[in-house]
Amino acid sequence: MISYTNKNFLVVDDFTEFRNSIKSMLRQIGATMVDVATSGEETIMMCRKKKYDIIMHDYNLGPGKDGQQVLEELVLQKLLPPHTIFVMVTAENTQAMVMGAMEYEPDDYLTKPFNRASLMQRLDKLVERREAMTAINSAAAKSAWGEMIKACDELMINNKRYAAMALRKKAMALQEMGKSKELETMLRSMLEQRPVPWAFLMLGRLLVARGDAQQAQVVVSDAIQQYPQLPALYDVMAEAQQKQGQLAAAQATIQEALKTSPRAIRRQMQLGALAKVNGDLDIAARAFREAVGLGRGSCLKSPDNYLNFVNVVNAQAVNSGELMDRRYQEEVMSMVSEVNKDYADDKAVIVRNTLAQATLLKNSGKLKEAEILAKKAAEAAQHLPHFFSAEVAVEVVNQLRDMGQAETATHVLQTCAEMYGDDPQVQSTVSSQEGGALLVDRANEARKLNRDGVLLYEKRQFAEAMQPFREASRLQPRNITMVLNAVQNLLQLTKIQPEQKEALKKECMDFLNNLNGMPPNDNRFERFQMLRKVALAL
């Protein structure tokens, strides 16, 4: 008999009657610690303050976050400990809703109405399973992956009932440890015996990450034949296709996944991006519109979805050679207004939004108003606390040129080439722009020097490595990769030249100060913060 006396429950429902009904049922089966919430926002707040054993969360909560968005945020923000049981409760069971919620893997899905007996039966099974996994989950909670693997092996021997789940957890631990060869061997061995959806998925991702996109396609294609209703398989297939330059095929694959699970915001964003590159502007506009709608209430809400929609609609107007339809004008202006309101403190976003609005006015025949806004955006673009990402910078350059702001366009292009010039994709894009060839030549020279510095660093010749790093910095003082490499080398140098610590610390900070305009959403920003923290502590 399972005891619920020591279990912390959280019941979330916007209807008082149903909330009290569930609470009463839980009391009847022995629960004594039952908290309640009425909204998704309240759930997030409560989970930040307290760890729950069991969360019973309604899907439809009226205005604000729905159950899927709450689960999404709890998972992405790491607010759901391994031991917590999350049960989605709903009166609806449409495929779109169920598949959307299931993508973040709730422990169970409970359809209203239900009685105390059926609730207890479900909870008993869930708790029994979770208690069998206690050692595994405890190890996972403290990132003790070796300990977790040992616990998985023991459970597979001692409790065959949960062997399959333990095997999956073991695969996750191997992945966290970076033991890709051992993981691949295990996954292939499993799949030779019988098809397992998550094993197909994990193997496909492993192969894509390793650069073997063609083999990943073979594996995932086989999996899709057997599990056509698993949208994550299509995601891996699309990624493999993109790696091989098969962009039209990747778009078609994502569209197929969205037929099964249309409420996946990141998948809609990916479809929009692919369709935009492929010139399929109608599909791109629909996808970004969906992403905007799904983003309201989601932690994945992004200004990029709004701006991509506006820019795609603007491009459609240009391609048609006609003034923009009034209906589109109103929709676009509504999104522009929402961005100005929700992202007022993000100066880079406001520059992009102002340019998008200027382009809209131009396409609507309001040339004077468009010119005023374009000049305003150009002025602001030269004084940003944080620069754009590489992809966005190139788009801004094109918009500035289209709006007659050539001088600022050149300034943005130069900054882009300097910060991201070691990226081959950026080089390719920059070289096609006016004045880009000289910028790429400079970037290539700095890139070679950086490579020389890295080779010396790997040989632990830290003093010698500083010469090429300093020369690279002279050519591109704001190049993110090169600055971070130079600082990492300087920090090693302080260990063998402690008498030079103060001078080396100053040089570290001089390097890092060149990156003050680095966008926080850059995937190297965490490394930048870590190196800065170490340098300041010298």
The CATH number given to whatever domain includes residue 515 is 1.25.40
Q: Which of 95, 116, 132 marks a domain boundary?
A: 132
- Asked, for residue 47, whether it belongs to a domain, the answer is yes
Q: Are strands 54-58 and 33-37 parallel, antiparallel or unpaired?
A: unpaired
- Asked, for residue 213, whether it belongs to a domain, the answer is no
Q: How far is CA 29 from CA 4, 35, 123, in A?
A: 7, 16, 10
Q: State the residue range of the domain holding 512.
A: 445-536
Residues 85, 105: Cα–Cα separation, whole Å: 11
Helical spans, DSSP H, in 366-420? 367-381, 390-402, 406-420
- Asked, for residue 249, whether it belongs to a domain, the answer is no
Q: Which residue type does 458 have? A: E
- Work out the burial of residue 505: count CB atoms within 10 Å of its CB; fewer than 13 is exposed, 13-18 middle, 19 or more buried: middle
What number is the average pLDDT over the span 391-397? 92
| Residue 228: band (very low, low, confident or very high) from pLDDT cuts 50, 70, 90 | very high
User: Who wins on pLDDT, 423 or 340?
Assistant: 340
- Of all residues in the chain, the percent with pLDDT exceeding 90 is 83
pLDDT at 87: 96
pLDDT at 100: 74
What number is the average pLDDT over the span 463-486? 95
- Asked, for residue 326, whether it belongs to a domain, the answer is no
Residue 452, helix vs strand vs coil: helix
- CATH number, domain of 53, equals 3.40.50.2300
pLDDT above 70 for 36? yes
Neighbours of 189 (CB within 10 A): 10
Q: Which of 100, 132, 164 marks a domain boundary?
A: 132
| Residue 318: band (very low, low, confident or very high) from pLDDT cuts 50, 70, 90 | confident
Residues 519, 514: Cα–Cα separation, whole Å: 13
pLDDT above 90 for 329? no
| Residue 499: band (very low, low, confident or very high) from pLDDT cuts 50, 70, 90 | very high
**Average pLDDT taken over every residue of the chain:** 93
- Asked, for residue 485, whether it belongs to a domain, the answer is yes
pLDDT above 90 for 446? yes
Residue 453, helix vs strand vs coil: helix
pLDDT at 104: 83
* Residue 12, strand partner residues: 37, 57
Residue 35, helix vs strand vs coil: strand
pLDDT at 97: 72
Contact 271, 255 (CB under 8 A): yes
The tokens for 115 are 């009685």
Contact 36, 10 (CB under 8 A): yes
Q: Which residue type does 255 have? A: Q
Residue 10, helix vs strand vs coil: strand
Residues contacting residue 436 through CB under 8 Å, at least 6 positions apart: 413, 417, 430
Which of 281-295, 336-350, 432-446 has the weakest average pLDDT? 432-446
Contact 10, 55 (CB under 8 A): yes
Which of 96-100, 173-177, 443-447, 530-534 has the weakest average pLDDT? 96-100
Q: What is the pTM of this model?
A: 0.87
Q: Express each pLDDT in 44-91 by its tens digit.
A: 999 999 999 999 999 988 888 999 999 999 999 999 999 999 999 988
- Asked, for residue 473, whether it belongs to a domain, the answer is yes
| Residue 330: band (very low, low, confident or very high) from pLDDT cuts 50, 70, 90 | confident
What number is the average pLDDT over the span 445-459? 95
What number is the average pLDDT over the span 179-192? 96
Residues 417, 401: Cα–Cα separation, whole Å: 17
Q: Which of 85, 107, 132 marks a domain boundary?
A: 132
- Work out the burial of residue 371: count CB atoms within 10 Å of its CB; fewer than 13 is exposed, 13-18 middle, 19 or more buried: middle
Tally of structural domains, the chain: 2
Neighbours of 319 (CB within 10 A): 10
pLDDT above 80 for 321? no
- Residue indicated by tokens 């159950």: 67
| Residue 326: band (very low, low, confident or very high) from pLDDT cuts 50, 70, 90 | confident
pLDDT above 90 for 210? yes
What number is the average pLDDT over the span 464-492? 95
- Asked, for residue 190, whether it belongs to a domain, the answer is no
What number is the average pLDDT over the span 186-215? 95
- Asked, for residue 92, whether it belongs to a domain, the answer is yes
